[in-house]
Structure formats: C-alpha cells, structure tokens
Amino acid sequence: MSRFVTQLVLRSAGVLACVGASAGGAEGFFSFGAKEGVTIRLARGKEEGSLVGVVVSARSAWHQQQMNQTVLELRRVKEHVFRGRCSAYHVHASQDMEAWLDVAEASLLPSGDLRLLLKMPEGGSVQFAYQRVEEPERHRPDAGERDLAGEWADGAGAITVFRRDGDIYVGQVIRQASPEKGPAPRETIRVKAMGDGVHKGTIEFGSPDGKTVDLVEDIEVVVRGDTLTSVRSAKGGKVAAIARRLDSAGEKLEPKPKAAALVDPGDLCGKWRARNGDTTRYTRNGDRYTGYIVAIAPDKRGFGFVVGEEGVRLSRIPGGFYVGKVLVKTEGGKDAWWEDIEFTVDGDELRYTRYMVNGKVEKGRSARVGGLQDAPPAPKSP
C-alpha cells in the first residue's frame, strides 16, 4: 500500500461533519482531509448513469494543482454502486498528474457520503471516503466566475461580446480576426443558460449590415472560469472553438514590468520538452506564436511528423494564456487536421488543454529547456 494513501485514509475519517446529506443521489459536493480541505463537485457525465468529479476547492498547494480538473470518473453498475477510475495524484498515490487508479467499487452510503475502494498498482486495495458537504463559498457562481456576459477573445484574434437580455444572452463579434480581408458575415449568438455554465441556442450568419440572415445553426457555449468553449453544428460536422475572457474594457492590458524585471515569466518563446520527449521551439511575431518541431517522441514516430515542421499556432491572451491550434496526424501521416488547444505558461512550466474533434479533452505539461533566459526580455517602461 502506498504510504501516501495510508496517510490519506488516516486523515480523512471523520474530519468534516456531514452537512445536508442525502441518500437520494450521488450528485453534489464531497470533501476529504482537514488540513488539505479538497472538495470536488460530482455531476452527471455525458453518458447515461455516469458521474464526473471536478476539483472546485483546495487548501493545499498539492491539490491546487488540480483545480477545475477531472479527478473522478464513475459509471453506475446498480443502485448507489459505481465503478470507474480516480486520479492517483488526487489521493497521493502518485506524483504523476496523468496517472489513474481503478475504482473497484464506489458506494453511496446512507449518510450521503461516498466510499471508494481503489486498486493499487503494486497489488491490493485501499478504501477511503468522501464526505458530503455544502457547496463551497468560492465555488458559488458570481458575476465574474461563470457568467457569460462580457468580452471574449479567440485564438484568431476575434473578440465577441455577450450581453444579457432577460434570460437570454446575445453575442456579437466586435472585432474581426482579419479585418484587412473586408467585412465578414455578421454573427449573432442567442443562447439560454441551462445551468453549471452551459448555454444552448443558435448562431446566425447574416449580411455585414445585419439586414438578412443567410444561415442558422445550433450552438452550445460552456463557460469554465475564464475559458469559453463553443461547439456549433455545421453542415460538415461539429465545429469547436475556445476563447479567453477579457476585462470590461475589451482588451486587458499587460501589467507594466518592474524596472528590475529582465524577463516575462508568461512568455512562451523558447524551447519546451514534454514528458514523452516531444520538443518544440516557439517564436513570436507580435501576439502570435508559432511552434516548430525540434524533436519527435518515440510514441509519435510513424505519424508523419518532420523536424522543423510547424506544429502549433497560438495567440496570446493577457498574462501567460494562449489559445490556438495544434497539428494532429493519423498513423503514417495519411490524414492531418488542426485541433483547438490552450496553454498556460508560468516561468519554466507549461500546461496545456487540447480539445479533440472526438469530444475528448487531453491535458499535459512541458518544461522549458534552457530556463527563462531563453525568453526575450520584457518591454521596458516608457
């Protein structure tokens, strides 16, 4: 048994009082650990009878690394009994945030708590319990956390503003991605909040003057903090896009660097290596960044990637945030396409979220090669 999980089991028993327990269902908020105080929100998944647990509150630096990430996936096998998987990092069984443990059984207790039986990699199993709690204060939606209203910038540089009109949100593009190409079709999005940051409705494509409507498609918009994901139903299939929240002025300004600052810790420029060995060098042109392949990981060989090839296209959003596209290929390089991707850069660490065309989400990390000195100096104050 992992010593980390052993400590977890000893700490988790009877630490938090059960508040508002209900044996009627497994959805809700669950916590463990008095000092760590990590809380997940367990909600229905996409498939019938499935549940997904996402970290919504954490005191320790360890669990804060998993904020807003999925750490528990369950499927119902009978009433109040589930199976699935749990993040090994989440329960201190591994330092790898991508590692998972099988959940042999998850049981909803009469008290409303959730008991998990985890299979350990070295053999055997360990048991611990989440305690049902009230919704954490910091998770309760406020005007800036999950509200769609405001201004959003996508990876191409376009800015869309959403305004609230009763129970409907109306969105319109206020800055085109490529204004030099002339007026673009007028896009108007009308969606209604369905709960938990999800909005559904339609997107209209019309003449630039707004006098005629040429096409109407269904669209779903999901807000998670400062990230917006939209999926519309086009004739050729689903079209996904991501954007980052801007401030009320429309363009959040970069903070002025301190006089002593020599580098910008949020800048992507330089060389980065992923855990599997993939290495990419990023160059900057204004707020646009291009990633070129430097080294190909063993598990990526045979997919037609070439050293020196352009593999990532990004635009920087204020701070260390980036949104754009990543090149994807099938085995042998027979087919290739671009998928949405989002970066967060903090010093020598890069975290990414890739939104696949099949609807799945991939998360990962890379480390800067050569340190911050490889990044260009931050601009001096005027």
Structure confidence at residue 189 (pLDDT): 92
**For residue 28, is pLDDT > 70?**
yes
Q: Quick check: helix, strand or coil at residue 135?
A: coil
Q: Average pLDDT for residues 155-174, to the nearest whole number?
A: 82
What are 209-237's pLDDT values in tens digits?
A: 667 888 899 999 988 888 888 888 888 77
| Distance of alpha carbon 185 from alpha carbon 191, whole angstroms | 19
Please, which pLDDT band fits residue 36 given cuts at 50, 70 and 90?
low
Higher pLDDT, 13 or 107: 107
Please, which pLDDT band fits residue 139 given cuts at 50, 70 and 90?
very low
Q: Which CATH number fits domain 3-139: 3.30.70, 1.20.81, 3.40.190, 2.40.128?
A: 2.40.128
Written as one letter, the residue type at 17 is A
| Distance of alpha carbon 228 from alpha carbon 240, whole angstroms | 11
| Distance of alpha carbon 176 from alpha carbon 182, whole angstroms | 9
Tokens of 292: 């070129």
Structure confidence at residue 6 (pLDDT): 37
The pTM of this model reads 0.38
Please, which pLDDT band fits residue 379 given cuts at 50, 70 and 90?
very low
Residue pair 67/55 in contact (Cβ under 8 Å)? The answer is yes
| Distance of alpha carbon 305 from alpha carbon 334, whole angstroms | 11
Structure confidence at residue 222 (pLDDT): 87
Written as one letter, the residue type at 232 is R
Mean pLDDT of the chain: 78
Please, which pLDDT band fits residue 259 given cuts at 50, 70 and 90?
very low
| Distance of alpha carbon 132 from alpha carbon 26, whole angstroms | 9
List, by residue range, all CATH 2.40.128.520 domains of the chain.
270-374
Residues 6+ apart with CB under 8 A from 241: 154, 155, 229, 230, 340
| Distance of alpha carbon 135 from alpha carbon 183, whole angstroms | 46
**For residue 25, is pLDDT > 50?**
yes
Q: Which of 22-36, 88-102, 174-188, 339-353 has the highest mean pLDDT?
A: 339-353
Structure confidence at residue 24 (pLDDT): 39
DSSP sequence for 142-183 = -TTTT---EEEEETTS-EEEEEEETTEEEEEEEE-S-GGG-P
**For residue 273, is pLDDT > 80?**
yes
Structure confidence at residue 122 (pLDDT): 77
What are 43-59's pLDDT values in tens digits?
A: 888 788 889 988 888 77
Structure confidence at residue 134 (pLDDT): 82
Q: Average pLDDT for residues 110-137, to the nearest whole number?
A: 83
**For residue 271, is pLDDT > 60?**
yes
**For residue 132, is pLDDT > 50?**
yes
Residue pair 32/129 in contact (Cβ under 8 Å)? The answer is yes
Please, which pLDDT band fits residue 104 given cuts at 50, 70 and 90?
very high
- % of the chain beyond a pLDDT of 90: 19
CATH, domain range 150-246: 2.40.128
Please, which pLDDT band fits residue 329 given cuts at 50, 70 and 90?
very high
Residue pair 89/95 in contact (Cβ under 8 Å)? The answer is yes
**For residue 86, is pLDDT > 50?**
yes
| Distance of alpha carbon 33 from alpha carbon 4, whole angstroms | 13
The CATH architecture one would assign to domain 270-374 is Beta Barrel (2.40)
Structure confidence at residue 74 (pLDDT): 93
| Distance of alpha carbon 97 from alpha carbon 99, whole angstroms | 6
Q: Average pLDDT for residues 181-209, to the nearest whole number?
A: 82
